[in-house]
Amino acid sequence: SNKPKIVVLGAGYAGLTTTRRLVKTLSPEQAEIVLVNKHNYHYESTWLHEVAAGTINPNQARVMISDVVNPNRVRLVYDSVVEIKKDEQRVVLENSELSYDYLVVGLGFESNDFGIKGMAENAFAIEDIDSSREISEHIEYQFAKYNNDQNAEDHSLNILVGGAGFTGIELVGELANKVPELCKKYDIDRSKVRIINVEAAPSILPMFDKELVAYAKKSLEDRGVEIKIGAAISECTPEGFVVGDDKELIKAGTIIWTGGVKGSSVLGKSGFELTKGKVNVDGDLRMKGEENVFVIGDCSWVWNKEADRPYPPTAQLAMQEADVVAANLKALISNQPLTDFVFNDKGTVASLGHSDGIGNIFSGYKIQGKSAATMKKVVDNRSLLLLGGPKLVLKKGKFRPF
Ligand code: FAD
């Protein structure tokens, strides 16, 4: 047939939202749609710190793609993208190949350790369900073996988290809830366990103002999290982080790096021109100089003209970009003019464990404590609503009271 073929790579916030929008706006006669994803499930990346800490079941954070996308309308391909050959309009997958007329790249993020020596080899990273689930299993195993192992060293119970951005802070917030539970379960005194957060910058959570940062820091420290700011990590060894000018070795049985992310490594392998690991796109979200390739979510570098800097990568941004890409694909197919992306910032909420948090909402209105924790659950449930409708909210939503 001569229907145009749209191929969407990645079923994260960006790719899944694009696909669902396309299904709503294009009839089967107008375009063939193909969605490619590594797994047969979508996961909520913004919940991965909870999976890593073991405070939610991994299954709560994932959804079968065929439950939210009609497989009779969209061809679902569960395979890994290896390389995009844009000059040939082809995508190479691990087990097959695909051609396309229009491409949407939404392959998301990977951990970025900025080349710190030993980090890739010795630290865990939060990247997807598999890597996050392994962290919680590893932590629990340290506790399980402690009383049963004559040679167990005290520091094996320590949990070291590198980076005090969004992910690092949300993770230690969950750990502050989880560690007392593990102590009870495995008959270990809470004082034997250290949760240590190490950050090179002079402050945690650079995206929030001083007042909220101070609140977050106190909340975490009151619950036994040690926060070391202005402490650069020069190396990660199998035993822990080497930190600061005096090269102190902080030892831990669990070492996690959350200090940075970059776009999918497929971008580089495909020979794309990159800015800080991401693809520079035009206002309409097409790759510069390309007619038929859109790049969105954590793979793209989208300029915020007002602020004169790129938008920080968030799920909120990815989902809004997806709406514009779906509309622009429809416009391309029907020879209409494309529209430029405009971000509508609904605010940011960071959790500090299950029942605490901080946030900026409605342009500048600050919240903290239980109201922020409640707002976070509203945001998380709204994400499910957008991705899968009310049924998905009932099935996977967050309703546990404080
Ligand atoms: P992703 O959600 O990463 O999706 C990428 C998809 O592509 C995945 O399904 C993946 O399996 C698939 N994929 C990857 N590589 C391949 C391949 N080679 N072949 C096939 N498939 C592949 N943002 C917020 O707005 N608010 C928050 O509170 C927030 N909290 C966060 C907390 C944590 C712990 C983390 C890690 C991130 C948080 N973020 C938050 C950021 C947000 O998660 C990302 O910006 C968002 O996930 C980007 O969406 P995406 O669709 O580009 O990528």
Give the ligand 1 atom nearest the CA of 110. Answer: 3
Give the ligand 1 atom nearest the CA of 265. Answer: 18
Share above pLDDT 70 across residues of the chain, in percent, rounded to a whole number: 100
- pLDDT for 88 equals 98
Give the ligand 1 atom nearest the CA of 127. Answer: 36
pLDDT tens digits along 205-244: 998 999 999 999 999 999 999 999 999 999 999 999 999 9
Residue 364 lies in a domain: no
Give the structural domain span for 130: 119-257
Ligand 1 site, residue 315, Cβ cutoff 6 A? yes
Task: Tell me, yes or no, whether 124 and 242 share the same domain.
Answer: yes
The total domain count for the chain is: 2
Ligand 1 site, residue 168, Cβ cutoff 6 A? no
Tokens of 36: 């490619």
pLDDT tens digits along 241-283: 999 999 999 999 999 999 999 999 999 999 999 998 999 999 9
How far apart are the C-alpha atoms of 225 and 239, rounded to whole Å? 20
Residue 360 lies in a domain: no
- pLDDT for 307 equals 87
- pLDDT for 1 equals 64
How far apart are the C-alpha atoms of 379 and 316, rounded to whole Å? 10
pLDDT tens digits along 59-94: 999 999 999 999 999 999 999 999 999 999 999 999
Task: Tell me, yes or no, whether 124 and 140 share the same domain.
Answer: yes
Which of these three, 226, 257, 288, is where a domain ends? 257
| Residue 34 CA, distance from chain mean position | 23
Asked if residues 299 and 264 have their Cβ atoms less than 8 Å apart, the reply is yes
Ligand 1 site, residue 51, Cβ cutoff 6 A? no
| 95, 98, 107: residue to mutate for ligand 1 pocket, most atoms within 8 A of CB | 107
What is the 347 CA–ligand 1 centroid distance (Å)? Answer: 18
Task: Tell me, yes or no, whether 142 and 251 share the same domain.
Answer: yes
> Known catalytic residue: 170?
yes
Task: Tell me, yes or no, whether 161 and 250 share the same domain.
Answer: yes
Task: Tell me, yes or no, whether 245 and 269 share the same domain.
Answer: no
Residue nearest to atom 27 of ligand 1 (CA): 46
| 46, 104, 133: residue to mutate for ligand 1 pocket, most atoms within 8 A of CB | 46
Task: Tell me, yes or no, whether 296 and 282 share the same domain.
Answer: yes
- pLDDT for 2 equals 85
Residue nearest to atom 23 of ligand 1 (CA): 314
Residue 371 lies in a domain: no
Residue 347 half-sphere exposure toward CB, CA atoms < 13 A: 17
- pLDDT for 152 equals 87
Task: Tell me, yes or no, whether 69 and 103 share the same domain.
Answer: yes
Which portions of the chain are predicted below pLDDT 70? 1
What is the 108 CA–ligand 1 centroid distance (Å)? Answer: 5
Question: Residue 372: what residue type?
Answer: A
Secondary structure of the chain as H, E, C letters = CCCCEEEEECCCHHHHHHHHHHHHHCCCCCCEEEEEECCCEEECHHHHHHHHHCCCCHHHHEEEHHHHCCCCCEEEEECCEEEEECCCCEEEECCCEEECCEEEECCCEEECCCCCECHHHHCEECCCHHHHHHHHHHHHHHHHHHCCCCCCCHHHHCEEEECCCHHHHHHHHHHHHHHHHHHHHCCCCHHHCCEEEECCCCCCCCCCCHHHHHHHHHHHHHCCEEEECCCCEEEECCCEEEECCCCEEEECCEEEECCCEEECHHHHHCCCCEECCEEEECCCCEECCCCCEEECHHHEECEECCCCEECCCCHHHHHHHHHHHHHHHHHHHCCCCCCCCCCCCCEEEEECCCCCEEEEECCCEEEECHHHHHHHHHHHHHHHHHHHHHHHHHHHCCCCCC
Tokens of 220: 């975490």
Asked if residues 263 and 10 have their Cβ atoms less than 8 Å apart, the reply is no
Which of 32, 44, 170, 321 does the annotation list as catalytic?
Answer: 170
What is the 59 CA–ligand 1 centroid distance (Å)? Answer: 16
**Domain holding 184: CATH number?**
3.50.50.60
Residue 293 lies in a domain: yes
Residue 49 lies in a domain: yes
Residue 369 lies in a domain: no
Which of these three, 240, 257, 274, is where a domain ends? 257
Which of these three, 215, 234, 257, is where a domain ends? 257
Task: Tell me, yes or no, whether 253 and 268 share the same domain.
Answer: no
Residue 378 lies in a domain: no
Whole-number average pLDDT of the chain? 96
Residue nearest to atom 18 of ligand 1 (CA): 81
* ipTM of the shown complex: 0.99
**Domain holding 324: CATH number?**
3.50.50.100
